[in-house]
Amino acid sequence: MGYDIERFVGYVNEGLLCSICRDVLEDPLQAPCEHAFCTACIHGWLVHHSNCPEDRQVIDVSLLRPLYRYMKNDLNRLQLHCRNREYGCEMVCSLESIDRHERECEYSQIPCSNAGCTVQVERRHLDGHLAVCEFRSRACPNGCGYTLLSAEDSQHNCVAELRTELELLRSEMICRVEEAKHEMESRLDSQRRHMVQKESILQNEIEELKSQMSRLMSDVRSLMAAERQHRQELEQAELEKRELMELLKGLQKDCRLTTAEGSRKSNFRPLTRLESVKRKPSWKRESKEREQVWCDCSFSPKAEMWLHQLMPPASLPV
């Protein structure tokens, strides 16, 4: 439905009137034949008809378009009275701003906000009505904290209300305690299962560590036995080393003696054949004595091996 033409100040162009309700256009739409209608009016018309109410041309909802801009501007510039004029509002404003004014108008009739109250009062008188409304709520003057309606003042019993409130609180607390109990039991069961699983895992890890420890102890014992054997071998090698050192010292002494004898021979004149023949038995005797010394010496197998490496086989006794 459109705006009542009686509310407007001055002349209203015929082209700005709805062709169906004959009031000033409200939320206008335009047909292809350029006739304008209120949105609610044309939608209601097309429910039962399929043509324009002015010239009977076929139209459809999908063919409706917004009003031309120049017509929209003319429509918005129209001046009209507030709809609360009968209650005392004298405001006259443009059609473009009338909705905003009427939402905030002090003369608008609004319902009381108290539950059960059906009275409608002007916005400016709402606070005064709420102060005396028989459906208004207020706290109990005896201090029980219960919210009272004016109609319930004579029937209010603080003790009964507090007892009822206490029972409600008790039942609510019991429900919460039961819920908390069930939740805690569920959590404890979950924790218990988790702890059992964790204990099993830890037990397996302990067994694995024990097996690893036993293997390590076996390896340590093997290493200690190898170390003892190696130490014995080192002691044996040290003993053989001392024997070789003594042998080398003896060899060096023999070498020095041989060198000294050679130097003494070089200082004498050459022997005659007779003298050399005479001396031959003494040289043979010394050689036999040296061979007897070598044969009297006893060495370990490794010492004999090192001795053979240090001295050529020809220099050793057979």
One-character DSSP codes across 152-173: GGGG--HHHHHHHHHHHHHHHH
Whether the pLDDT of residue 184 is over 90: the answer is yes
- Order of strands across the sheet that contains 36-38: 36-38, 28-30, 65-66
Query: What's the pLDDT at 154?
Result: 54
pLDDT-based confidence at residue 172 (cuts at 50, 70, 90):
very high
**One-letter amino acid identity for 42?**
I
Segment 177-184 shows an average pLDDT of 92
Q: Which segment of 13-17, 124-128, 210-214, 259-263 scores lowest on mean pLDDT?
A: 259-263
Whether the pLDDT of residue 260 is over 90: the answer is no
Could you report the per-residue pLDDT of 266-297, keeping only the tens digit for each?
654 544 444 444 444 444 444 455 454 445 55
Rounded CA gap, 98 and 78, in Å?
Answer: 10
Query: What's the pLDDT at 206?
Result: 93
Whether the pLDDT of residue 177 is over 90: the answer is yes
Query: What's the pLDDT at 303?
Result: 57
Could you report the per-residue pLDDT of 69-120, keeping only the tens digit for each?
888 989 989 999 998 888 889 899 998 888 899 888 998 888 888 877 888 8
Among candidate residues 19, 28, 26, the one with its CA nearest the CA of residue 69:
28
Residues in Cβ contact with 97 at an 8 Å cutoff, skipping those fewer than 6 apart: none
Our measurement of the distance from residue 104's CA atom to the centroid of its chain's CA atoms, rounded to an integer in Å, reads: 51
Among candidate residues 170, 164, 162, the one with its CA nearest the CA of residue 143:
162
Rounded CA gap, 124 and 136, in Å?
Answer: 18
Rounded CA gap, 307 and 184, in Å?
Answer: 89
Query: What's the pLDDT at 198?
Result: 92
Q: Within 10 Å of residue 107's Cβ, how many Cβ atoms? A: 19
Is the pTM value of this prediction over 0.95?
no
Rounded CA gap, 28 and 23, in Å?
Answer: 11
Could you give the percent of the chain with pLDDT greater than 70?
A: 76
Q: What is the mean pLDDT of the chain?
A: 80
